[in-house]
């Protein structure tokens, strides 16, 4: 359990239904939607500089009205709703929240935006007393972004599903891809030391660069396992055949997700 803030006196992750301050400018509301893909549930982040009137809501979560009512109550006036990527556990509640809060929705994918233009890589959003830097980090999905914040001597990056609070991220079909994901991890590994990870799922972590380097090492180990399997099975082996070798000691219920991952790795190895 890694709590990076000095103001986290309202409990630790997971804290359902209770706004949990993590940094002076970032509070999380954990949606009660745990499952195999969301870990403990979706983290909805509320960003606001100390003393600022307005709030930015990042990833409202599913269309879960008790959760969205709690988000509204904790947020106060909402300047904007930002989306890290198009998966429904992050974005499905956005239209409802936008209407109730009278706030625009911004995402990298124009189709998700409401009354506002799409986010652009490198754009800096001056909102809620903060400067939010948009980093396009494709890989988990093509439209994944992170948001970097430096304020009051503290820095943090909201990572969506690009980096999670525990475990590793899936390269999700149809638009996830390993090559861009490795590039995104290298970008995040280059962030200054001590930048907190504020993830889409799981607990917050103290050092993004360190976690990104661990992810890169893990991916390289997995690629080496696939290369070894292909040397046994032949270069045209299917994803399923590779799973049966590489994941032989893993419960078969996890093989479908493993097959996504292996397919992404085979695509990568066969095109680079």
Where does this chain bind Zn ion (CB under 5 A)?
A: 87, 161
Residue 31 or 161 with smaller CB distance to Zn ion: 161
Residue 14 or 160 with smaller CB distance to Zn ion: 160
How many Cα atoms are found within 13 Å in the side-chain-facing hemisphere of 176? 21
Minimum distance from CB of 235 to Zn ion (Å)? 31
Helices 208-233, 255-271: inter-axial angle, 10-degree rounding:
80
Please, are residues 25 and 49 in contact by the beta-carbon 8 Å criterion? yes
Residue 155 or 260 with smaller CB distance to Zn ion: 260
Minimum distance from CB of 33 to Zn ion (Å)? 13
Minimum distance from CB of 61 to Zn ion (Å)? 12
Residue 19 or 61 with smaller CB distance to Zn ion: 61
Minimum distance from CB of 8 to Zn ion (Å)? 25
Residue 87 or 191 with smaller CB distance to Zn ion: 87
Q: What are phi and psi of 22, to 5 degrees?
A: -110, -45
Phi-psi label, residue 74: left if phi above 0, alpha if psi -120 to 50, beta otherwise: alpha
Sheet with 105-106: list strands edge to edge.
Answer: 20-23, 26-30, 43-47, 55-58, 78-82, 105-106
Secondary structure (H, E, C), 130-150: EEEEEEECCCCCCCCEEEEEE
Minimum distance from CB of 85 to Zn ion (Å)? 6
């Amino acid at each position: 359990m890694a709590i990076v803030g000095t103001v986290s006196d309202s409990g630790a992750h997971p804290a359902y239904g209770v706004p949990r301050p993590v940094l002076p400018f970032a509070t999380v509301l954990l949606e009660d939607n745990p499952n195999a893909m969301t870990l403990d549930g979706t983290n909805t982040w509320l960003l606001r500089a100390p003393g600022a009137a307005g709030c930015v809501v990042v990833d409202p979560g599913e269309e879960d009205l008790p959760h969205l009512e709690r988000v509204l109550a904790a947020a106060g006036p909402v300047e904007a709703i930002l989306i890290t990527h198009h998966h429904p556990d992050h974005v499905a509640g956005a239209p409802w929240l936008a209407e109730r809060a009278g706030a625009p929705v911004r995402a990298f994918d124009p189709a998700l935006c409401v009354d506002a233009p799409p986010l652009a890589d490198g754009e800096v959003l001056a909102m809620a007393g903060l400067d939010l830097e948009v980093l396009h980090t494709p890989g988990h999905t093509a439209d994944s972004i992170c948001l970097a914040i430096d304020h009051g001597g503290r820095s943090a990056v909201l990572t969506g599903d690009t980096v999670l609070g525990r475990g590793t991220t899936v390269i999700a079909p149809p638009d996830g891809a390993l090559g861009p994901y490795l590039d995104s991890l290298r970008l995040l590994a280059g962030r200054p030391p001590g930048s907190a990870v504020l993830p889409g799922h799981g607990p917050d972590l103290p050092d993004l660069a360190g976690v990104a380097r661990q992810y890169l090492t893990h991916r390289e180990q997995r690629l080496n396992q696939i290369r070894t399997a292909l040397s046994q099975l032949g270069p045209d082996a299917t994803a399923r055949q590779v799973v049966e070798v590489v994941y032989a000691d893993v419960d078969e219920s996890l093989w479908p997700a493993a097959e996504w991952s292996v397919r992404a790795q085979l695509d990568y190895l066969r095109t680079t």
